Structure 1
Amino acid sequence: MALFSFRLPDIGEGIAEAEIVGWHVKVGDRIEEDQPIADMMTDKATVEMESPVAGTVIRLAGEPGQQIAIGSMLVEIETEGEAVGAEGAVEKAEAPVPVAPVAVEARSEPSKPVAVVEDKPVEPVAKGTVKAEVLASPAVRARAKELGVDLAQVKPSGDHIRHSDLDAFLLYGAGQGYRPAGRSSRRADEEVKVIGLRRRIAENMAASKRAIPHFSYVEEIDVTALEETREQLNANRGERPKLTMLPLLIVAICRALPDFPMLNARYDDEAGVVTRYGAVHMGIATQTDAGLMVPVIRDAHDRNVWQLAAEIRRLADAARTGKAKSEELSGSTLTLTSLGPLGGVATTPVINRPEVAIIGPNRIIERPVFRGKEVVPAKLMNLSISCDHRVVDGWDAASFVQAVRKLLETPVLLFAD
């Protein structure tokens, strides 16, 4: 027998450590060569590690959520014969490596109330050694059954149970058997460890709010004509992807940005340098089962609405299925975040650091508006922007949004040369 120590390899990108997101194996498992053993997360992506040898797992480096340095032991595997170690040396195991037992805290789950509903007449209840029959009118019995109340638990004020006795029981002495109709059951408490992507999101959001003095600006935009244009484009799209509001909004943003270069920028806090980008690499905040991810549309300013729609769909699918590449999840210069139909009235999005601005369209609502002296229906949408006040002044942010507003309210300008 020999002991093979699989050390965490250099995953690239100049990282010094990676986080254990999850194990595919446990101590004692028999594994084959190239079998997945762990998911490791870097600052940019999750990487699946595979075993270079076959054998039995003897020791694991840690639990999910722990950081492992590059070059340190990740898994120890007992192999048959002699195995070449990570540094090229033969490592022989004279005895199995002892594995410390993991202490597990014993916890009892909270007791759960159980609703008791009798489908038959209530049987007499024992009181000591004497059986006492529960007396109640058919109406009281029917009401108790509907509420899930065991009449044996109700104390009568006279020789039988009345509605007033049932009311008193519901108010003051419900006990554990009572569950009001229509009321949901209480969920048990649970602890969820914040690891992997969820922890990265938490750390990034905390760093953003801690380091960046945010300010937000919200403007109402009449998108009636834009929605009509979008419907006409979709009606004649052929094999092209269906247009949502986002591609049209990205075109408007890209057309307005040249006059407001301070918004398409990144701020290096430590160096004290703001880099204003000529190209627009648009980050699209995307909700996935694992948490919020921001895939990036490269050179969004060079794409038309159909190309943008196709790229948005491709990147969103890649992010949600875990197939997005690390280079597709980094390098954005400005981020767009949208909750679609759940967009609310207004939002104050958190900046995707080290960017200096983030834009959030909100839900489209049809309301009556004045056009001259007439009241007509209009489709209105609030557009929110949050900015880094160290870099962007309020006047510039408001002027930029007004420029975007003009383009969206006059959609022919989006397609003019």
Structure 2
Amino acid sequence: MPQVLEFKLPDLGEGLTEAEIVRWLVEVGDVVAIDQPVVEVETAKAMVEVPCPYGGVVTARFGEEGAELPVGAPLLTVAVGSQEPLAGQAPASGSSSGSGAAAKTGSAPGNESASGNVLVGYGTGAPAARRRRVRPASFSAPVPVPVLSPVPAAEEARGPVAVVSPLVRKLARQHGLDLRLVAGSGRDGLILRTDVESAIRVVEEERAAAAPAARPAGERIALRGVRGAVADKLARSRREIPDATCWVDADATELMAARAAMNRAGGSAAAPKVSVLALLARICTAALARFPELNSTVDTEAREIVRLSEVHLGFAAQTERGLVVPVVRDAHSRNVESVGAEIARLTEVARTGKLTPADLTGGTFTLNNYGVFGVDGSTPIINHPEAAMLGVGRIVPKPWVHQGELAVRQVVQLSLTFDHRVCDGGTAGGFLRYVADCVEQPAVLLRTL
């Protein structure tokens, strides 16, 4: 007799508490194998394909594409011990008799049916599940229960309410919504976030019909996913960090000539080219070795500055999903070629939207090349909780006094935004001046190699 096991949204790490369903990879009635990806979700950090730790037949899915679910909310249920798809359903693409066999052997928790991949809340041991008899004729997707005319309430709902997520309770409280008047579409009447959001929309529509619009009409774009995470981080940076910015123009003619010479010395046309960003990254690591105050963070609770021994260099990258900051690990121990190769790899992964949370966290200093947008200067916002960011404008021909004579040179503007708690202007100016000297005379960098 098959056993129905419930798979809940696992803890995806990095302190993430919720995720948005982007795309279901399986349908009700599909046969899934152990560790087969079943849904693609977007967190505040990245897009993630979530594997199912059970093998069997999908009996129900919870949540439509675009819905946000808290960690621990049901994702789907799987009938373990049954390898036959539902009547009228074909096996999922990529499924085989081998996957069906895996499902069949996994008819009882605590044996080989357990996933080999360790998700938070799902280990290689026995999965925690409620035992239910499988009635194939009743396998179907859950039907949402209609919302029962919600109205705002001034006080917290009293009595037992079918709500598990504290995020759902908070959302209802913020909008003055009485949860006792909301019917849940989850299992056993559980009130989900989508139920509360639907109820809030009904209330707002009723209010809008009774009074003139208080806000201007227009397209509204929710701050969710990556864009929402960036908005929160930038707002926190400006709220907590007393930042200051200094800048300088530098003659990058010699740097560009050195780059051209490096690429000519590469030998074949297929050899990877040295990028300007890779050169600037190597200059940054050399400057941070001289001015370690800027490779630090502030512990606000302990009122301490924490100087970091390793440089994990972030670089700003614009993608279709918004601004992201991939991190080059241990940049201080890499040469120009190694840094350039890692920047190229992370940039390509960012373009495909496959950066993991680990790729986007742990940075200690950020390099921001906004020159690619055709602008000369900017005052970048520090990537919290870091202490500084170097901004680089476009490199363009400009009149410049060179060796006592007016000449046309390749000029770039460099700007450093820094946390004034970790250092004073003298240190920040020294760092920026050293970077500018390396740009103008790349041979200066050889003294630190």
Q: Shared fold by TM > 0.5?
A: yes
Residues 276, 300 of structure 1: CA spacing in aligned structure 2 closer, same or farther, 3 A cutoff?
same
Residue 8 of structure 1, CA deviation: 2.2
Alignment partners' CA distance in 1, 2:31 and 2:398: 64
Instruction: Classify the secondary structure of the residue corresponding to 2:297.
Output: strand
Counterpart in the other structure of 1:17 = 17
> Secondary structure, in 3 states, of the residue corresponding to 1:92?
coil
Give 1:403 shift.
Answer: 1.4
Indicate if the aligned counterparts of 1:268 and 1:354 stay in contact, CA closer than 8 A: no
Quote the residue 1:296 is aligned against.
327
- 1:273 pairs, out of 304, 307, 314, with 304
Question: For residues 115-140 of structure 1, what are the alpha-carbon distances to aligned partners after superposition, in whole Å with 9 as ceiling and x for unaligned?
Answer: xxxxxxxxxxxxxxxxxxxxxxxxxx
Q: Which of the residues 64, 67, 92 maps onto 2:66?
A: 64
State the match for 1:198 in structure 2: 227
The answer (yes or no) to whether the contact 2:16–2:43 under 8 Å persists in 1 is no
2:144 to 99, 109, 112: 99
Aligned to 2:294: 263
Unmatched tracts of structure 1, length 5 or more: 107-187
* Cα separation, partners in 2 of 1:326 and 1:25, compared to 1, 3 Å: closer
How far did residue 356 of structure 1 move?
0.6
SS in 2 for 1:363: coil
Deviation, structure 1 residue 378: 1.1
Task: Please tell me the residue identity of whatever aligns with 2:31.
Answer: E
- Answer yes or no: is the 8 Å Cα contact 2:19–2:70 preserved in 1: yes
Flag the structure with larger Rg: 1
Q: How does 1:8-407 map to 2 (within 5 A)?
A: 8-12=9-13, 15=15, 17-24=17-24, 29-34=28-33, 36-42=37-43, 44-51=45-52, 52-55=54-57, 58-61=60-63, 64=66, 66-70=68-72, 72-76=73-77, 87-92=128-133, 98-101=143-146, 190-238=219-267, 239-371=270-402, 374-407=405-438
Is the contact between residue 263 and residue 274 of structure 2 (CA under 8 Å) also seen in structure 1?
Answer: yes
Tell me the residue number matched to 1:169: none
Give 1:333 shift.
Answer: 1.0
| Closer, same or farther: CA 260–192 of 1 in aligned 2, 3 Å | same
Matched position secondary structure for 1:360: strand
Question: Does structure 1 retain, via aligned residues, the 8 Å contact 2:326–2:346?
Answer: yes
Identity among equivalent pairs (%): 33
- Report how far residue 84 of structure 1 moved: 6.3
Q: Give the drift of 1:58.
A: 3.5
Secondary structure in 1 matching 2:362: coil
Distance in 1 between the 2:257 and 2:337 partners? Answer: 17
Q: Quote how far apart the aligned CAs of 1:251 are.
A: 2.1
Residue 338 of structure 1, CA deviation: 0.9
Residue 398 of structure 1: how far off its partner (Å): 1.4
SS of equivalent residue, structure 1 residue 75:
strand
What is the alpha-carbon distance in structure 2 between the residues aligned to residue 63 and residue 392 of structure 1?
47
Is the 2:252–2:440 contact (alpha carbons within 8 Å) kept by the matching residues of 1? yes
Letter in 1 for 2:419: D
Deviation at 1:380, TM superposition (A): 0.7
> Structure 2: how far apart are the matches of 1:356 and 1:79?
51
Cα separation, 2, equivalents of 1:247 and 1:410 = 16
Q: CA RMSD in A?
A: 3.2
Question: The residue matched to 1:337 in structure 2 has which SS?
Answer: strand
Cα distance in 1 between the residues matched to 2:316 and 2:309: 21
Q: Is the 8 A contact 1:4 1:84 kept in 2?
A: no
1:59 to partner: Cα distance: 4.5
Corresponding residue for 1:143?
none
1:75-120 deviation line (CA, Å, top 9, x unaligned): 24578969768524422367675432586989xxxxxxxxxxxxxx
- 1:373–1:2 Cα change, 3 Å: closer
Amino acid at match of 1:64: G
Are 1:343 and 1:361, in contact at CA under 8 Å, matched by a contact in 2? no
The amino acid of 1:49's aligned partner reads V
CA distance in 1, matches of 2:442, 2:291: 20
Quote how far apart the aligned CAs of 1:62 are: 6.5
Unaligned runs of 5+ in 2: 83-103, 110-126, 147-194, 203-216
Q: Give the drift of 1:375.
A: 1.6
Per-residue CA deviations over 1:194-227 (Å, capped at 9, x if unaligned) read: 3222221121112112221221111101111111
The Cα offsets for residues 253-310 of structure 1, whole Å up to 9 and x where unpaired, read as: 2222233111011222233232212222211112222222222222222222222221
Is the CA contact (8 Å cut-off) linking 2:295 and 2:311 kept in structure 1?
yes
Q: 1:31/1:290 Cα in 2 relative to 1: closer, same or farther (>3 Å)?
A: farther
Cα deviation, residue 43, structure 1: 5.5
Offset of residue 190 of structure 1 = 4.3
CA distance in 2, matches of 1:40, 1:268: 32
Relative to the length of structure 1, the TM-score reads 0.70
